[in-house]
Amino acid sequence: MTLNKTQIAEIDQLRAQQAATRRATVPALEEILYTALPVLDHGFVRVIDYMGDDAAITQAARVSYGKGTKKLNEDKALIFYLLRHWHTTPFEMCEIKYHVKLPIFIARQWIRHRTANVNEYSARYSIMDREFYLPAAEQLGVQSTNNRQGRAAVLSPDEAAKVQKILREDAERCYQHYMEMMNLQGSDGGEDTEPQILDPNRSGLARELARMNLNLNFYTQWYWKTDLHNLMHFCRLRADAHAQYEIQAYARVLLDTMQRWVPATFEAFQQYREGAINLSKSGLDVLQRMLRGEQVSEQSSKMGKREWREFCQSMGLNDNGQIVSPQNKVA
């Protein structure tokens, strides 16, 4: 993560301000407000603002005149009840706003979540920073053969070094050309001065065109605002082990901020979403047969091969449908 001096000063200035408010306030989240939480090599997540807390959920669920809280444990029980029964609207009553810096190819996955508000840094209007994502060697996974959209083991150190070299050189060259086409002097990034004209005798290509030469690993940034229900939905999908590693890295930081913000909801989220599984009609049938003592196999499960494997894995069973003892359990 690279913040220049101006940016650091601006953040510090924001953090120094305090005002009195009658609104629901969460000290644990205030503590990190505006701070840049690092993700990947140059990215970050900053909490810019928030509305509501755990109590605001029960307050809305009860359509209260007052705070909506009864005893603390009753409130928590209600939050657990609401999440367990897929009552989504009370969680929509809390809202959070982030400033995120992220590689473009990740931004393209992220934006698929439509129920959110976004203001992205405009490359039609402004000049992009000279910052691109270069995966660490331990992230350079081989194409998986049994999952067409996944990674298997990592590349050999030699292969990894070659890949990193290609990615770095192509990004650097493309950025250099990006600046040249706009008739601007390339900078080495990080500083906060305006780029200088390269050649006063020629004109520069429009920014909205020059940007097309940048690679998909260049960083963009945006303000992203969503409600708690949609934040949980995002994190359930994107912090999941099947999501691409790079977006997982962001989702995990979002979850950290959620834990500070609404700790009771976070706990319920772990219970009913993150650690939960969807058990299909066939899966339910298989389990009931197993509980009655029947030994069920892939053949007798009426599931397909892949579904059976997924089922066994999610239940902590081996591929023969037998319970794995805790010490041997799949992580």
> Site residues for a second copy, window 63-122 (CB under 8 A)?
63-67, 77, 80-81, 84, 86, 89-90, 92-93, 95, 97, 99, 103-105, 107-108, 111-112, 114-115, 117-122
β-strand 43-51 against 117-120: which pairing, if any?
unpaired
Choosing from 138, 202, 241, 327, the residue that interacts with a second copy (CB under 8 A) is: 202
Q: Could you give the residue numbers annotated as active site?
A: 238
Task: State the SS3 of 80-101.
Answer: HHHHHCCCCHHHHHCEEEEEEE
Tell me which residues in 287-316 interact with a second copy (CB under 8 A): 287-288, 290-292, 304, 306-307, 310, 314-316
Look up tokens 């995990």; give the residue: 252
Amino acid identity for residue 16 in this structure = A
Residue number, 237 or 298, with CB nearest to a second copy: 237
Beta-carbon contacts of residue 119 (< 8 Å; ≥ 6 apart): 222, 223
Q: d(Cα 120, Cα 122) in Å, to the nearest integer? A: 6
Residue 301 CB, nearest approach to a second copy (Å):
13
How many residues bind a second copy, per CB under 8 A? 145
Among 38, 41, 137, 180, binds a second copy (CB under 8 A): 180
Helix H or strand E encompassing 222: strand 219-227
CB of 22 to a second copy, least distance (A): 5
Hey, how many other C-beta atoms are within 10 angstroms of the C-beta on 210? 21
At its nearest, how many Å lie between a second copy and the CB of residue 47?
10
**Residues 236-275, mask of contacts with a second copy (x by CB under 8 A):** -x------x-------------------------xxx-xx
- For a second copy, the closer of residues 52 and 253 by Cβ is 52
Binding mask 26-65 toward a second copy (x if CB under 8 A, else -) reads ----x--xx-------------xxxxx---x--xxx-xxx
Angstrom distance (rounded) from CA 32 to CA 47: 7
User: Which of positions 133-172 make contact with a second copy (CB under 8 A)?
Assistant: 133, 135, 139-144, 148-153, 155-156, 159, 163, 166-167, 170-171
Specify the DSSP class assigned to residue 155.
P
Site for a second copy in 205-234 (CB under 8 A): 205-209, 211-217, 221-223, 225, 227
Q: Which is nearer to a second copy, 222 or 250 (CB)?
A: 222
Q: Could you give the CA distance from residue 94 to residue 96 in angstroms, rounded to a whole number? A: 7
Residue 218's CB is within 10 A of a number of other CB atoms, namely: 23
Q: Please, which residue, 43 or 283, has the CB nearer to a second copy?
A: 283
> Are residues 319 and 330 in contact, defined by beta-carbon separation less than 8 angstroms?
no
Find the helix or strand (DSSP H, E) in which 152 lies.
strand 151-154
Residue 20 is a binding residue for a second copy (CB under 8 A):
yes
- Joined together, the tokens standing for residue 198 give 């390269």
Minimum distance of a second copy from residue 188's CB (angstroms) = 20
Residue nearer to a second copy on the CB measure, 72 or 206: 206
Residue 262 CA to residue 22 CA, distance in Å, equals 18
Which residues, 6+ apart, have CB-to-CB distance to 182 below 8 Å?
A: 127, 204, 205, 207, 210
191 CB-side CA count, 13 A: 7
Q: State which residue, 193 or 278, has the beta carbon closest to a second copy.
A: 278
